[in-house]
Chain A
């Protein structure tokens, strides 16, 4: 398909309304691009058509290579990040499971406690508690925890040692043997 200069000038309103078929639109632009007189005429009617079909800026093979290299590096980075995130999430799940188990064990052991001690907001070594001598500030737990329940280097904090049997009690166990 080809348009003469007369055809092109007659079709400007249709082109602007988007009423030309896709093949006609392409022919219209190609004519404008190659015929300076028609371009001038059409631009005097609709100045924005000055930019219709501005020649494609050639993208060199070097540019394509640069984009490809950047994309490959980006993909490698994203893959590494994904692997790292996967490992981190597995580890986080493991730590969370251990912490939950420890907290549950602590609550089970400690909630029945009713002893009141004013000077007991201190860490207690589990090893000391699990032996015959009860740990200062943690009397209720010491009575019920059998030896070997906690690792030897675990530390237990009681943040409300004076709580009565009906009062809430918060106990925090830090197990230093865990690799977190």
Chain B
């Protein structure tokens, strides 16, 4: 396989390792393929039934008629399941050298040195490396890959799996439900605060291989957890599909924050369904950074089901040459006194395209709801494009709904000022861009904030001809 870099040969994570698999499914997908996946994982029969049902829905559902162009995805050319090694490792030293080497380049050991709560690293379809701090287990917090979660806590998984995002929600949630593999399973018991963020690294490493993680987070009454998902992927010669489903249940008074930095290589289709159900006085916060991929369609949603529930979506999208970031957020108010805030910042450059697509919906009877939507777009050159598609369906009188959108270019005066202080133009531009996204970056854990600023700088290099 030959790799080619679409971003001026500067893509830092554009390396890939020789494949070494225990089991690899056939290209394409049929019902037998789905049965095989389930068989290989020794799953209970109810999960197989769900997979098969979801497969049926998947074959019937059409691709969305709106949003990015998905017509070039070759669904028959994808491996739907790959199992990297036959057993999981608990210690870093036990990992195969190849995998360790890949992680070294992303910098996982450094992350560990910083005493982060737990590092769950995903190499291809299954979690192969995991370390959970002893204190977490003592508190009764479960932090496993989804397959182990299903094996060890089948009753919890059965109770919640598919309740927030049913298989029939859309074509890609159906696909995920039929072939899912890996992802995280997090359960936080009543009243427990997880002080440090739980982290998982994701990685795709086989050409034409789809990644279909399934993540389920359950935060019981009054608990608090921050989950961080960061992605980097090597570059391949053919298109790769990533279609995850993330379901979050925030119970009464609980608080969950889910942070993602998505930096797939520029040939990945990233079509993700993320949704949280928030009960009374609960808070859900999505922090969502989209830097990589060829096409991303992702709208983290909050369904505010109980009185005084709150939802926040902070989203950054960066689209360079050949990229289309179709991102945004949804807030659906089912109950009274619920509040939501969606802040979206997008940057497009070098012919890239960003779209904000959002929904605020207030159902009749949900009184005294408040919602604020702010979308700011920065366009760096003439060939780039930015669109805004805000949808507001307000069916209740006593609400406060606020919407604001700004589109701008980097100001010549700002550039001139910085250059007059001896700062070069590319440096000045990346300073301005970093300032533009600062309100969201400051919500990231420190290592991610540093990485985010570095990535933006890297992307901005060579942007001025």
A and B interact = no
